[in-house]
Structure formats: structure tokens, C-alpha cells
Amino acid sequence: MIEMQDVMKKYGNGTTAIRNITVKIDQGEFVYVVGPSGAGKSTFIKLMYREEKATKGQLNVAGFDLMNIKNRDIPLLRREIGVVFQDYKLLPKKTIYENVAYAMQVIGRKPRDIKKRVMEVLDLVGLKHKVRVFPTELSGGEQQRVAIARAIVNTPKVLIADEPTGNLDPENSWEIMKLLDKINTQGTTVVMATHNAQIVNTIRHRVIAVENGRIIRDQVEGEYGYDV
């Protein structure tokens, strides 16, 4: 699903954020990416959905060769990848329904299909009753659930989340985790960067620890105990 070989990322200002990372993530896996601030977690996942281009190496995601992908094919790659951020990034002038529907409209889906699918994902995240409200009328946890609904509405193969619980209290964080787990159980690969040691140590999955642009540990699910 995601395969990196000797991947390196150097930003325009000379900062090397990723140094020779080789890693493979299979379809259906749930992977945490952990590490201190500035370690390269966000850069690592930005490379996966081509928000940033790797400087060197080989990188394949959902069947696309990201080192040789044509610009016109990038939207096709992005259809296979849902992305969720710490700060939700909902469109403030659109209702909850419109925020989620928009992701289907931009890829030209039929209005009838859109209605059915949007209601289905809003039901999954427990917000069917909030379709007509605006993002500012929702709590942080609810806004993040809308962001997740939007990220999965086009049934991506991979869901990438960069500190999705970063702005949430523990209770809302657990709700988000339950949801991500459910989505993963339904077959979607999940890659999640997080600082939350409690989550990583409670809801156990593979843990990739990044430090100074390198993978310093790759712990399979089931191995006991991890200090984040």
C-alpha cells in the first residue's frame, strides 16, 4: 500500500527533514507515527499524499509511483487518500452536509449518489442530526468527526491523520480513536501521527518512531509497552 525506499526530503531552505527512510505499510494496517517535535512526522506523511515531493528515493502509494507521477494524475492519487488534520480545516461558510458533499462534488459524482453517501458517513460518525449546522456551531470533537467523514466519503484506501486528537480533551480523543479503529476494521489503512502516549499505549497498533528524520524503531502490534 505504502512503500518507501531510501527516501530523503530536503526542504528548499536546506533543512533535511527525512533521511533515508525505508518502510512498508500493508493494506489494512493501522500505524502510529511518533517522535519528538521536529522529528519529521508531518513531513513523512506529507510525502505519502504528495503534499511534499521526496528529494531522493523510491515511493509508491496505492499503486502510484510518486517519484514519476504526472501532475495530472495527482488528483487520482488523492482520491485514494483521505487526510485529517489537527485543526479540522472545515469550510466555515458551508454546512456540515455541504462540507462533506463538496468532496464528492469536486470529483463529479452524481447528486443522488452524493446524498446517499454523505448521509451514510455522517451516520457513521454520529452526526446525522447536525447536517444543517455550520462548523462554528459544533464542538471540537464534532468538527473532527465531520473532517473524518469528509476524508472517508470517497472511500479512500488510506486515511492519513496528522495529530487528529491534538486539540481535543481525553474524552473526545477516545471518541475519535474509536472511529478511526472502526474505519480501519472496515479495511482502510490508517496512518496517524501523534504525541499522545496514552492512546498509543492503550489502543495497540504498530508504532513507527521517527527521530531526526530517521526511523529509530518500528514496533509491531502486540509488542508490549512503548515510551512515547
Ligand X SMILES: Nc1ncnc2c1ncn2[C@@H]1O[C@H](COP(=O)(O)OP(=O)(O)OP(=O)(O)O)[C@@H](O)[C@H]1O
Which one of the spans 9-17, 63-71, 102-110, 138-146 is the region binding ligand X (CB under 6 A)? Answer: 9-17
Burial group, residue 225, by CB count within 10 angstroms (0-12, 13-18, 19+): exposed
Which one of the spans 28-36, 39-47, 100-108, 210-218 is the region binding Mg ion (CB under 5 A)? Answer: 39-47
The site map against ligand X for 35-74 (x = CB under 6 A) is x-xxxxxxx-------------------------------
CA dihedral 151, 35, 6, 52 (to 10 degrees): 40
CA dihedral 106, 111, 116, 120 (to 10 degrees): 20
Is 17 in a helix, a strand, or coil?
Answer: strand
Which residues in the 144-163 window bind Mg ion by CB under 5 A?
Answer: none
- Min dist CB 109 to ligand X, Å, is 33
- Min dist CB 151 to ligand X, Å, is 19
The entry of Mg ion, ligand X, none that residue 35 binds, CB within 5 to 8 Å by partner kind: ligand X
The site map against ligand X for 21-40 (x = CB under 6 A) is --------------x-xxxx
C-alpha span between 152 and 190 (Å, rounded):
11
Decide: is 42 part of the binding site for Mg ion (CB under 5 A): yes
**In this structure, what DSSP letter does residue 226 have?**
-
Q: How many CB atoms lie within 10 A of CB 133?
A: 15
Side-chain-facing half-sphere of 193: CA atoms under 13 Å: 23
Interface residue with ligand X, options 2, 4, 13, 101 (CB under 6 A):
13
Matching residue, cell 508504532: 207
Interface residue with ligand X, options 1, 2, 4, 17 (CB under 6 A):
17
105's enclosing H/E stretch is: helix 96-105
Closest to ligand X by CB, 28 or 166 = 166
Matching residue, cell 484506501: 157
- Min dist CB 54 to ligand X, Å, is 13
Residues in touch with ligand X (CB under 6 A)? 11, 13, 15, 17, 35, 37-43
Residues in touch with Mg ion (CB under 5 A)? 41-42
